[in-house]
Structure 1
Amino acid sequence: MKRISLEALLRTMQDQSYQEQYEYIRKLLEEEKIKPVKASRTNGKKPALYREYWILEEKKDYSEYIEEIKYNFSTRISVDYYLTHPDVYETDRPWVLLLNEYLKEHKDALKTAESLNERSFEIWSREKFLDREQGKKILNRCGLGLEFLNIYRTTEPLAYYTHTRNTPQNLLILENKDPFFSMRSHLLSGHTEIFNMEVGTLIYGAGKGILRSFQDFDLCAEPYMTDSGNKIFYFGDLDYEGIGIYENLVERFQDRWEIKPFIPAYEAMLNKADRLENLPETKEHQNRNITSIFFSYFSNTTVEKMQAVLQNERYVPQEILNRADF
Structure 2
Amino acid sequence: MNLDYLRETLCQVLEPSQKNKAASVASALVRVRGDVVTDEDIKRIVGKYGKEAQVALTAAVCSEALDPVEGQEGVYTLRVPSQVEGADGAGEKAEGDAGTAGAVDENEPAPEVVDTSETVEEPAAADGTTAAEEPAAADGTTAAEEPAAATDPTPADASKPGDAQVPEASAQPGDAAQPAPPARAEKPGRSSAPRTQRGRLRRVGKGSPSHPTQLSEVPYVRRGGPAETEVRAKILELDQRFWMNGWLLSHPGAYTLFERQLTAINDALVNGALPGDITRRQLAYQMGGDEKFFEYGSDGHKLLRAMGMEDVIRHRPMPKPDLLYHAPRRRKHMRVLVTENLDPWLDVHDLMYEEGRTTILGERIHAVVLGGGTPILEHNRLALLLDTLGADSVEVLYWGDIDRAGIDIMVRLRDVLGEHYPFAPFTPAYQLMIDKAQERYPDPADNEQTCQVNLGMPDMSLMCDDLTEEAAAYARSVVEGCRLIPQEILTRRDL
TM-score, normalised to structure 1, is: 0.48
Structure number with bigger Rg: 1
Pick the structure with more strand per residue.
1
